[in-house]
Every structure is written in structure tokens, then in C-alpha cells.
Structure 1
Amino acid sequence: MSSSEKPAGYDIDLGNECSRNAYAWSKKTFANRAGKPGEPAQDLDGGFANEIRFGNARLGISSDGIGTKIEVAERVGKYDTLGYDLVAMTADDLIVGGFVPTNLSNIIDVNTLDYGVIDELMHGLHDACNFSGIAITGGEIAELGNRIGGWHGARMNFNWCSTAIGSLHPSLEKPLSGATVQAGQAVVALRSPSFRSNGFSLARRTLQNLFGDAWHQASYDGADATEMGHTWGEALLAPSLIYSPGVTGVLDAGLPLHAAAHITGGGIADNFKRVLKNGVGAELDNLFEPLPAMQRLTELAGITPADAYLYWNMGNGMLLVTDEAAADAVVAKLQEGGYQAQVAGRITAESGIRLKVGAGELSYE
């Protein structure tokens, strides 16, 4: 993995090892709630949300933040879209487990307060939660002085994280874990119109090296500039699309889902393999094309397509596994909800993930 860790400045394998270790320590506390309200599920390893049980109520819980995308907002001076990123990171981690997001609590750690920035952040969070049917039921603003840093020209430096909870969809007996995934099932991809909130360390480093400290003001002339913006700062700041309402609609319609993967850091290979638990693999030959900005950054950074598909979603924000006979209906339901979706491939009896994309054939074991 050494070739793919250097450009971004971080080690994906080490990050996964640290996460597994942290979760191992966490699991040692599960016995504290065994047979009591708040009992965690024991069989959902590998996901980014877990189930907690309160009698017959089965809830999901997930925590995440928006990482260094914050610096892009600081540079552009626009903060009212970050709420979509914050909700997407937790709500979409819940829905891939079959949990419909219901409530969210957030914490904003700041160096010094700026009322206007806080107002923009919360306005955007309000809009994103309205889009998703989520109530904001908790929050904290903590002033931490020089413990919080960021871009020197910002009105306020901050970090923003949230925890969301949701309830297991009533059509499901168990959370979606990939336990019923079998060869021959279909994979449906949902298009991502943005970078979401992942891979920004590599993007920022690449643009810094190319354009200097004012990289966010450098002209962006990609084919999608009308939608994304005409500077690199605007293009990177485009907000995340929240998929949970669309996937909820699929479940509401009674359509079968066997697994779902939220494509975040680690890309398709790292995230999709988490739900391929029966020794199966996948062949994806009809994914959405990478966004022009992602394609351009791949060239500017000098990284291989195989690595690019690990750092960014490359235009595919979520993958769903459904029965082959139901695939077209799942796509139609998602499109009815305003999402771009298409059948992207199938589950194979052979392990590993194989992508057939414009850059060639890419394989991940």
C-alpha cells in the first residue's frame, strides 16, 4: 500500500488497523449492557454504525465529522453547505445498516467564536436535516483557543462532528450486514455529484503544490464548472448528497436489499468489501464516470487510477445489493426520489472486487 499512502500523507492500512484496535477495546465494554437497555449487537463488525437495543426497539448509532473539508470552507468563506456533509457522514452510515436516521447531536470546537459563521453552519445543518427528516436534539459549542487551528485567513477555525441515531426499518428483521449476499445478485450504484467529505488531504496537497497557498482561487474549467463552480475552492466545496431518504424509499416500497455500502475514505474497494462476508466478490462494469475534477486531480497528483479509486468515490457515493429481478425496480424508485442510479454490476462467487472503468480494469483483493 506504500505507493498509495504517500501522495495523501496518510496510511489507509494503518488507519484501518487503528480503527480495528479501537473497536476491539470498545467491544470489551459490550458486556456492561448485556441483557439490559442499550445492549449492543455483537455481529456488525466492519461497519460504521452499530445497533443498540431497548426492549423491542432496535436503534442504530453512528458518529463522524467532516475532516479537512472545513479548510476549503474557510478559504472560500462559505459555510452554509457543510451541514449536508455532516449529515451525510452519519445518516448514510446509518441507512446502509437499515437504520432510518431520526435524530442528531453535534459539537463545534472553535478557537474563537464568530456569530455569523456559527449561524451559517447551523442554517446549513437545519436545511440538511429537513431534507433528511432528522431532528437536531443536542449540541455543544466549545471554545478551545489555540488547541484548534486551520487556515490563517479564516474568521473562525473549528472542527465539527456529530452523532446520529436511527431506528431499524420496520421491513427488516435484522440490520443489513451482508449476511445474505450471494453470487448472482445485482449491484446498484448511486451517483455522487461531489467529493463528499473524503480525500481532501490529497486534493489540498496536490493543489497547494501546483498553485501555491491561494490554490482555492485558481481557475477551475472542468466540464462541470457550471454546477461545481469556477474556482478549485468552489469545486471542492460542493456539498454531499444525502442518500438516506432515497434508500429509505426503497425499503418503504418493500424492495429487497441485502447490503449497502457508503463509499467514503478507502473508496469502493475498502468500503464495499466490508459487506461481502460470504467469500463472494463483485464485478462492477457500469459504474458512474469519475467527476471531471476527480479525473483532473488524478492527473495533477500523478497517482494511478487504482489509487484514485481508493482515495475518492470517483462519482459513486453508495452501492446497494439487491436481487437481480428487483434491480430495475430499485433503480426506478431511486430515480423517482431524484437520485441518479443505475445497475453497476453483480456479485460473483469469486472473492475480490473488480472494476471495469474508463481507465481500464482494476482489481482489489
Structure 2
Amino acid sequence: MTTNSSNTTSISYRDAGVDMEAGDALVEQIKPFAKRTMRPEVLGGIGGFGSLFEMPKKFKNPVLVSGTDGVGTKLKLAFELNKHDTVGIDLVAMSVNDILVQGAEPLFFLDYFACGKLEVGTAAQVIKGIAEGCEQSGCALVGGETAEMPGMYPAGEYDLAGFAVGCVDKENIINGTTIAAGDVVLGLASSGAHSNGYSLIRKLIDKSGIDFESDFHGRKFKDVVMAPTRIYVKPLLALIAAMPVKGMAHITGGGITENIPRVLPAGLTAEIKKGSWTMPQLFTWLQAQGNVADSEMYKTFNCGIGMAVIVAKEQAAAAQKLLQDAGETVFEIGHIRVQQVGEAPTVVV
């Protein structure tokens, strides 16, 4: 093997496409965002090899609950619209709403931001949104990873993932085992499509030819379709502290008909009444663009219900009032009954 010993040019990591100075600059930009999310249990700050978090002393028999997710192809619209300030909220919401359904209080969150070339301004917008999501859910943004990988992603694109860790006392875990026939299903309104079904949404947008800047019932269409996922943590933790909550279902991928069954005991069905809640105009429009069947809508999108909460019939009115007083829009959307032979565990009638 021969080498070209006459070549005295020194090749750096930057020459290979990785700008470590940009990474350092990003860390400095995001430190104030992360600082606003801190909890007393955080030991240390952003920048260590690992993040230290002391177990809150209020938990007597603590069980850790974890969840992880991404934003999915909603990011493709973020790239197209050059709108990066809210996808971080989506990222946090998908994990904290998931762990919430078992009664867990989110404690801390870590993110993973991967790109081909680090654009500090764009990344800072994304992570500022992540910090906003953490503030909304009361959890600390204790760290993360920014990976600059030349050749892995097209210019201007990135991917996001993250995970949340929460805690619940063992005796307070919500697992659906007490759900019984006659219980009421409350639906908490979504803020839009949240972060699910965007492969179909993008296809229907392309088919329609709609202008993202056009007026859509008083708002720009781009703002409607990019509305960040609603975070239900604080109102629902307050509800859990006030009364028994038998079960909760985060309405994400799989929609209404495939998420509620995940919390139901065998032999029971959730009967959801069509028309018992206000269907947002976005979903009506999407359905019309592709002549999408009702069954496909209910298993693909949240259709206006971001979280289902199951309580005893005699406590439904009080639960609804408490949530409404906390700023949620709440509908009584159905009830639990005995499952018939061959019947699905959630039906929309």
C-alpha cells in the first residue's frame, strides 16, 4: 500500500461536515429554555454525560413509568412550511400524555435531535418548543442529544425522538381493572390532528391543492394543520387527586376505536355515541377530500377527542366540571357495557 506523503493538508472534523462549534453554540442557546423547566429534584444541569434526578419524597411506594415517541411525518410539513416552533411541544406531548394514563406524574424528559447539517437557529426553535412542552407538563428537560450526521438526512431536514419518565405510587396506578358496565366515558377535546395520521393528511392536502396560507374558518390553514398536540397532564393530575379515575386512553395512532380498548377489561365494550362531541372542521374537511369512510376516520385520527377518561356514572358530572374549570373542553361521549359475542371492544354508534 502506498500513501501520498506529499499531501500536507490537515483534514478536520468540520471538513467532514460536522461543526462542533455550532453544537456548542446550540447548547448555550438552549440553556435558558431548559432552566425554566427545572424541578428541585434535578441534580446538576445541561451538559453532563448523564442526568441526575432525585426521587421526589412525596411518593411512598414509587413506580417509574416511561414512554417514548417521535413526531412522525408531521415533520415533513414543518420542513415545507419552515415552521419549527411547535413540533417540540408535539414531541413532549406524545410521551407525557402516554404515561399520564397510568396516573404517572411526568418528572423529566430527554430529547434526540438528528440532522445532516446543524442549523443552530432551526434547532433552537425546536428545542425551545420542547422546553415549552415540558413547562406545560411540569417535567424537567434534563438533557438530550444533538447528532449531526452528514449524508444521513436531506438538507434542511431533521428527525426528533424523545422519552419521558414519570412516577406514581404503586397503589395509585390506573390500570383499568375497576372499569365496569355503566361507567361513563368523558372525552377531552383535542387541539387538532395532534401528531397522528399525517401520512394520510399530507396525501389529502396534496390531492386538494389547498394553499397553506388560505383562510380556514378564521385561521390560516397552516396554523390549523400544524397546531401543537394538547398536553393534558396538569388538569388530569388534579382530577386524579380529587376523585377515583378508573381508566384513561390517550387517543393517538389507532384513533378512538383502537386506543380505548387498551384500557378495558375483557368482556366490556365502550359504546361511543357519534355526534356527542363537536367534530373540528379540519376532520370534516379531510374526510371530504378523500371520501374517507367513518370507520377509517375513527381508527386513524382522534377526530376531536385527544384523551378519553372513564369514571363512575355518579362522578361523571363532578369530573366534567373540574376539568372544565381547569380549561378543558369536555364531552360525555359514551358509556361502558357488556361486550356482545363477536363485537369489537369499542363501537361508535
User: Cα gap change, 1:93/1:216 in structure 2, threshold over 3 Å: closer, same or farther?
Assistant: farther
2:174 equivalent among 173, 176, 200: 176
| Contact 2:184 2:336 survives alignment (8 Å) | yes
Q: For residue 194 of structure 1, what is the amino acid of its counterpart?
A: G
| Helix, strand or coil at the partner of 1:109 | strand
2:152 equivalent among 134, 141, 147: 147
Q: Give the RMSD, CA atoms, in angstroms.
A: 1.8
Task: Measure the CA separation in 2 of the matches of 1:345 and 1:263.
Answer: 15
Residue 308 (structure 2) pairs with residue 313 (structure 1): no
Residue 123 (structure 2) pairs with residue 113 (structure 1): no
| Contact 1:282 1:354 survives alignment (8 Å) | yes
Task: Measure the CA separation in 1 of the matches of 2:293 and 2:60.
Answer: 50
| Helix, strand or coil at the partner of 1:147 | coil
Residues 243-266 of structure 1: CA deviation (Å, up to 9, x unaligned) = 11111010122x111110000111
Task: Measure the CA separation in 2 of the matches of 1:328 and 1:194.
Answer: 25
Show the counterpart of 1:281. Answer: 269
Q: For residue 258 of structure 1, what is the amino acid of its counterpart?
A: K
| Helix, strand or coil at the partner of 2:347 | strand
1:128 equivalent among 124, 133, 149: 133
Task: Measure the CA separation in 2 of the matches of 1:116 and 1:219.
Answer: 27
| Helix, strand or coil at the partner of 2:279 | coil
Residue 220 (structure 2) pairs with residue 230 (structure 1): yes
| Helix, strand or coil at the partner of 2:171 | coil
Task: Measure the CA separation in 2 of the matches of 1:216 and 1:296.
Answer: 14
| Helix, strand or coil at the partner of 2:203 | helix
Residue 347 (structure 2) pairs with residue 354 (structure 1): yes
1:344 equivalent among 333, 339, 343: 333
Show the counterpart of 2:241. Answer: 252
| Contact 1:79 1:117 survives alignment (8 Å) | yes
Residue 201 (structure 2) pairs with residue 203 (structure 1): yes
Show the counterpart of 2:212. Answer: 217
Task: Measure the CA separation in 2 of the matches of 1:333 and 1:55.
Answer: 26
1:265 equivalent among 238, 253, 257: 253
Residue 297 (structure 2) pairs with residue 292 (structure 1): no
Q: For residue 346 of structure 2, what is the amino acid of its counterpart?
A: I
Task: Measure the CA separation in 2 of the matches of 1:210 and 1:343.
Answer: 33
Residues 6-40 of structure 1: CA deviation (Å, up to 9, x unaligned) = xxxxxxxxxxxxxxxxxxxxxxxxxxxxxxxxxxx
| Helix, strand or coil at the partner of 2:220 | coil
The offset of 1:290, in angstroms, is: 2.0
Name structure 1 gaps, 5 residues minimum. 1-53, 356-360
What aligned pairs does 1:317-336 form with structure 2 within 5 A after superposition? 317-336=306-325
Q: For residue 297 of structure 2, what is the amino acid of its counterpart?
A: A
User: Cα gap change, 1:217/1:343 in structure 2, threshold over 3 Å: closer, same or farther?
Assistant: closer
| Helix, strand or coil at the partner of 1:125 | helix
The offset of 1:306, in angstroms, is: 1.2
Q: For residue 112 of structure 1, what is the amino acid of its counterpart?
A: K
The offset of 1:328, in angstroms, is: 0.9
Q: Which has the higher mean CA deviation after the structures are superposed, 345-354 or 192-201?
A: 345-354
| Helix, strand or coil at the partner of 1:217 | coil
Show the counterpart of 1:74. Answer: 79
| Helix, strand or coil at the partner of 2:151 | helix
The offset of 1:61, in angstroms, is: 0.5
The offset of 1:346, in angstroms, is: 0.9
Task: Measure the CA separation in 2 of the matches of 1:305 and 1:298.
Answer: 8
Task: Measure the CA separation in 1 of the matches of 2:74 and 2:211.
Answer: 12
2:66 equivalent among 61, 67, 86: 61
| Contact 1:189 1:287 survives alignment (8 Å) | no
Task: Measure the CA separation in 2 of the matches of 1:56 and 1:291.
Answer: 42
Residues 315-357 of structure 1: CA deviation (Å, up to 9, x unaligned) = 00000111111111111111121111122221011253222xx
Q: For residue 104 of structure 1, what is the amino acid of its counterpart?
A: F
Task: Measure the CA separation in 2 of the matches of 1:315 and 1:56.
Answer: 36
| Contact 1:328 1:343 survives alignment (8 Å) | no
| Contact 1:100 1:167 survives alignment (8 Å) | yes
| Contact 2:207 2:289 survives alignment (8 Å) | no
Task: Measure the CA separation in 1 of the matches of 2:278 and 2:60.
Answer: 45
| Contact 2:97 2:250 survives alignment (8 Å) | yes
Task: Measure the CA separation in 2 of the matches of 1:195 and 1:64.
Answer: 16
Structure 1 segments, 4+ long, off by >6 Å, are none
Which entry has the higher C-alpha Rg, 1 or 2? 2
Residues 66-112 of structure 1: CA deviation (Å, up to 9, x unaligned) = 10111111122221111221111000000001111110011001121
Show the counterpart of 2:46. Answer: none
| Helix, strand or coil at the partner of 1:270 | helix
Residues 152-206 of structure 1: CA deviation (Å, up to 9, x unaligned) = 7xxx2111111100011x4x61522211111011111100121100000001011
Name structure 2 gaps, 5 residues minimum. 1-58
Task: Measure the CA separation in 2 of the matches of 1:160 and 1:111.
Answer: 13
Q: TM-score, normalised by structure 1?
A: 0.75
The offset of 1:305, in angstroms, is: 1.2
Task: Measure the CA separation in 2 of the matches of 1:311 and 1:69.
Answer: 14
